[in-house]
Amino acid sequence: MPKITFLGAGSSIFARNVLGDCMLSPALESAEMALYDIDPIRLKQSELLLKTLSANLGGKAKIVAYDDPRAALANANYVVNAIAVGPYDPTILADFEIPLKYGLTQTVADTLGVGGIFRALRTIPVMLDYARIMEEVCPNAWLLNYTNPMASVTGAILHGSNVKAVGLCHSVQVCAKDLLEPFGINTDNVRARIAGINHQAWLLELEKDGVDIYPEIKAKALARTEKHGDMVRCEIMKTFGYYVTESSTHAAEYLPYFIKSRYPELMEDFRINTGMYKEWGPNREKYWKQYMQEQLENKQQTHVRTFEYASYIMEAIETNRTYEIAGNVLNTGGLIANLPREATVEVPCLVNANGITPCYVGSLPPQCAAINRTNINTQLLTIEAALTGKREHVYHAALLDPHTSAELSIADITSMVDELLEAHKEWLPVFK
């Protein structure tokens, strides 16, 4: 039976979902599930939680918690990554508060923007350390990365190591649903063709029962007059012709048009919440403690398999039954012909005993590729900064970020970066 290692197992809810999915697969139910986290308290709680769940689902899985990453990774067949580097306060909070001093407002800041850049810079060195261990103790394992910023972290692993890796996100799975649900249309017999980059992939085609329904749905979506929570994506679709995978809250900060200090009314008009991060940390911690207490006390807990890709990927490789996913991979060979080949792209991939094979997409609509390239510029420069340790590339990444460059001057951007590097020096000692 395979060995599945979970890095960041203190993320108990996500670990429970992914490994619970594995327990429900006949091909994976007897696997060793190796848990690793730097927080011993959370690690122990996840271990207890998963042992109870395993017992209730037949008790075939072997749950083992490790305090040594090398031992956790030794002889692994699959490695699921869900780490977060740096605490909410002060580290993640600084990603928002310092830019705000300069007049730069963000929403989520986990993918692009200054917050996304610094999250990547903190995360990439840690992931490359794990990749080095994997090269030694489990060189044939697949790394399934769920940690954001997806394109930058996955790209750095693929550029900076020999590890077989794919980035996974569930935006693609829910994209068509998000567009169709307001009109009471379910996704039964729906075929969606989606490609681009993570959190900014494009719904290129949409069919139901073999009929192209995209023009009709676009017209309905753009005819809505009431305020709703998906207004940014609808505006992008209206302007550029295609619906994008990530939520309006996320999508707003990947472009220069929606969060603007000169036009504060835009945020109200498009229902953009830029203050939620202030409550996110404390609320998340409160929710996590309550959830863990309830779950640890619940000896009857069970599980229903989720739509997360991880277990289906492992199952397809183990059984040689082909499964299609949306994966984040290098654009090797020009999978998307009009995006840079060194970029991390999100494309359909086929999975079987041969591993994960990306599918050729061809060219995106030119306007969609152009928007993607504005994000890719920052992602590639962030990776370059992380791999080389050159401070100037951190400046370059921030200077070319679409939202940041639309709001701030060169002088303010470089000063802001300097202040963030100082605030994060514990995590970023390489940038002196």
Distance in angstroms (rounded) separating the CA atoms of residues 248 and 267: 11
Which range of residues forms the domain containing residue 70?
Answer: 3-168
- Residue 194 in 3-state DSSP? strand
Instruction: Please count the residues of the chain.
Output: 432
Note whether residue 65 is domain-resident.
yes
DSSP state of 73: H
Note whether residue 107 is domain-resident.
yes
DSSP state of 166: E
Per-residue pLDDT of the chain in tens (432 residues, 90 and over written 9): 999 999 999 999 999 999 999 999 999 999 999 999 999 999 999 999 999 999 999 999 999 999 999 999 999 999 999 999 998 888 889 999 999 999 999 999 999 999 999 999 999 999 999 999 999 999 999 999 999 999 999 999 999 999 999 999 989 999 999 999 999 999 999 999 999 999 999 999 999 999 999 999 999 999 999 999 999 999 999 999 999 999 999 999 999 999 999 998 999 999 998 877 777 777 777 777 787 888 888 888 899 999 999 999 999 999 999 999 999 999 999 999 999 999 999 999 999 999 999 999 999 999 999 999 999 999 999 999 999 999 999 999 999 999 999 999 999 999 999 999 999 999 998 886
Distance in angstroms (rounded) separating the CA atoms of residues 198 and 167: 9
Question: Could you please report the per-residue DSSP string of 277-304?
Answer: HHHHHHHHHHHHHHHHHHHHH-TT----
Q: Which two tokens stand for residue 187?
A: 């996704």
Read off the CATH number of the domain in which 65 is found: 3.90.1820.10
Name residues whose C-beta falls within 8 Å of residue 289's C-beta, 6 or more positions apart in sequence.
Answer: none
Res 280: pLDDT: 73
Note whether residue 349 is domain-resident.
no
Name residues whose C-beta falls within 8 Å of residue 102's C-beta, 6 or more positions apart in sequence.
Answer: 408, 412, 415, 416
The verdict on whether 228 is a catalytic residue reads no
Active-site entry in 170, 250, 396, 424: 170
Note whether residue 205 is domain-resident.
no
Q: Which two tokens stand for residue 275?
A: 């203050």
Note whether residue 126 is domain-resident.
yes
Question: Could you please report the per-residue DSSP string of 412-432?
Answer: HHHHHHHHHHHHTTTT-TT--
Q: Do 409 and 103 touch, CB atoms closer than 8 A?
A: no
Note whether residue 407 is domain-resident.
no
Distance in angstroms (rounded) separating the CA atoms of residues 178 and 185: 10
Note whether residue 162 is domain-resident.
yes
Distance in angstroms (rounded) separating the CA atoms of residues 224 and 375: 29
Omega of the bond leading into 365 within 30 degrees of 0 (cis): no
Name residues whose C-beta falls within 8 Å of residue 154's C-beta, 6 or more positions apart in sequence.
Answer: 145, 165, 166, 167, 328, 329, 344
Please report the beta strands in 24-66, taking only residues with DSSP state E, as ranges in sequence order: 32-36, 62-66
228 is in an annotated binding site: no
Res 289: pLDDT: 79
Q: Which two tokens stand for residue 203?
A: 């719904």
Distance in angstroms (rounded) separating the CA atoms of residues 402 and 385: 18
Q: Any idea of the CA torsion for 318, 322, 323, 329, to the nearest 10 degrees?
A: 80
Number of domains in the chain: 1
Please report the beta strands in 12-167, taking only residues with DSSP state E, as ranges in sequence order: 32-36, 62-66, 78-81, 142-145, 164-167
Distance in angstroms (rounded) separating the CA atoms of residues 317 and 74: 19
Note whether residue 131 is domain-resident.
yes
Q: Which two tokens stand for residue 117?
A: 């850049």
424 is in an annotated binding site: no
Distance in angstroms (rounded) separating the CA atoms of residues 38 and 282: 20
359 is in an annotated binding site: no
Res 293: pLDDT: 82
